Amino acid sequence: MTSTAQELHPAPTLEPGRTILELKGLEKRYPGTHALKPVDLAFKASEIHAIVGENGAGKSTLIKLLTGVMPRTSGDVIWEGKPAALATPHEAMALGINAVHQEVVLCRHLTVAANMFLGEEDSRFGILQQRAMVREAQKIIDDLGFDLPAHVVLGDLTIGQQQLIAAARATVRGTKFLIFDEPTAYLTRKEADQLFTLIRRLKGEGVTIIYISHRMEEVFELADRVSVLRDGTLVGTRNIAETNDAELVKMMINRSIEQVYHKEHFTPGATLLEARNLSGKGFENVSMTVRAGEIVGLYGLIGAGRSEFVTTLYGRHRKSAGQILWEGKQVQVNSEHDAIRLGMALAPESRRDQGLCLNLPVGLNLNLPIYKRISSNLLISSAQEKAEADRQIANLRIKTPTRNALASSLSGGNQQKIVIGKWLAHGAKLFIFDEPTVGVDVGTKAEIYRLFSELLSKGAGIILISSYLPEVYELADTLHVFRRGKLVATHGFHTADHEEILTQALAEKQEKPGGQI
C-alpha cells in the first residue's frame, strides 16, 4: 500500500488548509439511541478527508446531518466562519455542500444530459434547450475524461458509469464540499480510476472532499487525513502519512487485521458440482468443479460473466450449451426450485434487489426457503416458525430487537446475515456467495468468513464471487479468474501473486494495476 496523496496545490482563490467546515459538539439522538455522540472535527479547504468505521458507527448519520437531510439534536456547525443551521437539503446545497451516494439517485429514464441539468434546465421562453444541454453536458463529461455519451438514456449505462455521471453532476453546481458515500462499491477498477482522477482534480480546484469507504487501500490511495468512527464516537483523526491500515482497523473494531481473514484448510471431499463446457448468456465454455470442504473463488471485473455463470448453475437463466453434474450425475437445472432441491443455495449480489423482502419481518425472510418444511400440509407451525427464526438470529448474532422487526430497519451487515442465514436452516450442500461483503463492515466481514469455515467443516462447498481481490485471494482454495465471459486462469491457494491475477483479469497491458488492488 502506497500513499499517492499529492501535495496540496494552492488554489487561486481559496487558501488550502483554512478551515471550511467545523463541527462543534455535533450530536444526534434518536428515540432510544445515541447515533452520534458529540463530535468535534474541522474539515480543511481542499483536503480529501476519509471517514471510516463499521456499519452503524455513525457515518450515515453524519452525512445526513451535513447534507441537511435530518436535523441535529445539538451542537454547532460552522461553515466558513459563520454558524449554519443546515436544516434542509436545500440550504446545504445553497452553501455548496453536495453528496454522491452509493446507490445512484438519478432518473434512469432520462438522458445523461437531462440528469446533469435536472432542476437547473436551460430553457428559453419555457422551451427546453435540449441540444444546448446535451452539448454542454458532453463538454463537461469530456472535460472530466469520462468516455461516455451525453445523449443516451442513463439506464442504458452500467451502474458504474451512472455513478460517474452522478459524480460529474455534483461538480457542476458550485460545489465546495462534496461527500462521496462508498462510491466505488459497484465500480470496475477502470471506472474507479476515472473517479479518483476526478476527485483529485476537484481537490486541486479547492473543493473539500469527504470520502467514505470500507476499502482501506482506497483511503490510503486518495486521502490526506482519515477519521475513524466507532459506535457513534469519533475515535481519532490521523494524517494518512502517519498511520497504516493495521492501526485504522484496530481503531475501527478493536481487533487486529489478522483476525479478519479467517482461513482454515480442510481436506476436500467428494465432488459436489461439476460444470462441463458450460455456456450461457454472458459467459462461454466454462468448466470447473467444486468439492465438499473447499472454497472456489471466482475473481474478475464486474461484467466478466461470474454472476451470470452462477445464476445459470442456479437455474435462474438457461444454459445454451454444456453440462451440469451434481454429485457425479448429470442434472437438468431448469429453475431455482430444481437447484434448491439438489442442495444449492444462492446469496445473490444485490441484497436490496435480489436478497431480501425489505418491508417484511426478519423472521419471514429467514424462513422463506423452509416454509414447506415447517408447515404440516397447509398450516405453518407457528412454534417452529418462531424457533427457527430465533435460532438463526442467535446463531448469526443478527442485531434485531425481535424477529418481527422489518428487514429494512437493520444495518447493511445485519441484512447480509439474513441473506446468508436463510440458507443455514435449509441445509444446502453448495453455497454460492455473490459479493457477500459489499458494503459490509470489517467486524461483520470477519463473522461471515468464520461462517464459511463452519460451513466447510460440515462438509459443504462454497463458490465465492468477489471483485475484491484480497478477499478471494485469502479465502479461496481454488481461484478462477474470469475475463469477458471466459475462464482465463486457475490458481491454487496463494500460488500466484496479486499482480499476476490482476493482470489476467484485466488482460490489456495498458491497464496499470499499480500497487493497489
Site residues for other proteins, 56-85, by CB under 8 A, read: 56
What is d(CA 485, CA 501) in angstroms, rounded to the nearest whole number?
Answer: 16
Piece in contact with other proteins (CB under 8 A), picked from 14-22, 89-97, 122-130, 372-380: 372-380
What is d(CA 23, CA 66) in angstroms, rounded to the nearest whole number?
Answer: 10
- Asked if 494 and 473 count as a contact pair (C-beta separation under 8 A), the reply is yes
Q: How far is CA 126 from CA 110, 111, 121, 123, in A?
A: 19, 19, 10, 6
**C-beta of 183 vs 436, nearer to other proteins:** 436
Q: Applying CB under 8 A, does 242 fall inside the site for other proteins?
A: no
CB of 341 to other proteins, least distance (A): 8
Site residues for other proteins, 292-331, by CB under 8 A, read: 314, 316
**C-beta of 72 vs 203, nearer to other proteins:** 72
Q: Applying CB under 8 A, does 378 fall inside the site for other proteins?
A: yes
Q: Among 86, 346, 464, 481, which residue interacts with other proteins (rule: CB under 8 A)? A: 346
**C-beta of 225 vs 422, nearer to other proteins:** 422
Give per-residue burial for 209-245: e unless 16+ CB within 10 Å, then b.
bbbbbbbbbbbbbbbbbbbbbbebbbbebbebeebee
**C-beta of 49 vs 403, nearer to other proteins:** 403
Q: Applying CB under 8 A, does 425 fall inside the site for other proteins?
A: no
- Bridge partner residues of 483 (DSSP): 486
Piece in contact with other proteins (CB under 8 A), picked from 30-38, 194-202, 324-332, 444-452: 30-38
CA angle, 21 as apex, 230 and 218 as ends, to 5°? 50
- Asked if 104 and 118 count as a contact pair (C-beta separation under 8 A), the reply is no
What is d(CA 476, CA 483) in angstroms, rounded to the nearest whole number?
Answer: 18
**C-beta of 175 vs 437, nearer to other proteins:** 437
Q: How many amino acids of this chain bind other proteins (CB under 8 A)?
A: 49
**C-beta of 132 vs 405, nearer to other proteins:** 405
Q: Among 337, 387, 454, 514, which residue interacts with other proteins (rule: CB under 8 A)? A: 337
Q: How many residues are recorded in the chain?
A: 517
* Helix/strand/coil for 31: coil
Residues 251-280 vs other proteins: string with x where CB under 8 A? ------------------------------
Pairing mode of beta strands 478-483, 97-100: unpaired
Q: Applying CB under 8 A, does 109 fall inside the site for other proteins?
A: no
What is d(CA 286, CA 485) in angstroms, rounded to the nearest whole number?
Answer: 9
Q: Among 13, 267, 382, 510, which residue interacts with other proteins (rule: CB under 8 A)? A: 382
Per DSSP, the residues of 204-240 read HTT-EEEEE-S-HHHHHHH-SEEEEEETTEEEEEEEG
Piece in contact with other proteins (CB under 8 A), picked from 130-138, 347-355, 474-482, 492-500: 347-355
Q: Applying CB under 8 A, does 232 fall inside the site for other proteins?
A: yes
**C-beta of 191 vs 441, nearer to other proteins:** 441
- Asked if 475 and 447 count as a contact pair (C-beta separation under 8 A), the reply is no
Q: Among 4, 254, 277, 375, which residue interacts with other proteins (rule: CB under 8 A)? A: 375
What is d(CA 128, CA 125) in angstroms, rounded to the nearest whole number?
Answer: 8
For the chain, the first-to-last Cα distance in angstroms comes to 9
Piece in contact with other proteins (CB under 8 A), picked from 174-182, 259-267, 286-294, 370-378: 370-378
Residue type, 145: G
Q: Applying CB under 8 A, does 411 fall inside the site for other proteins?
A: yes
Which residues sit at the interface with other proteins, rule CB under 8 A? 30-35, 55-56, 231-232, 314, 316, 336-337, 340, 346, 348, 353-361, 364, 367-369, 371-372, 375, 378-380, 382, 399-402, 404-406, 409-411, 414, 422
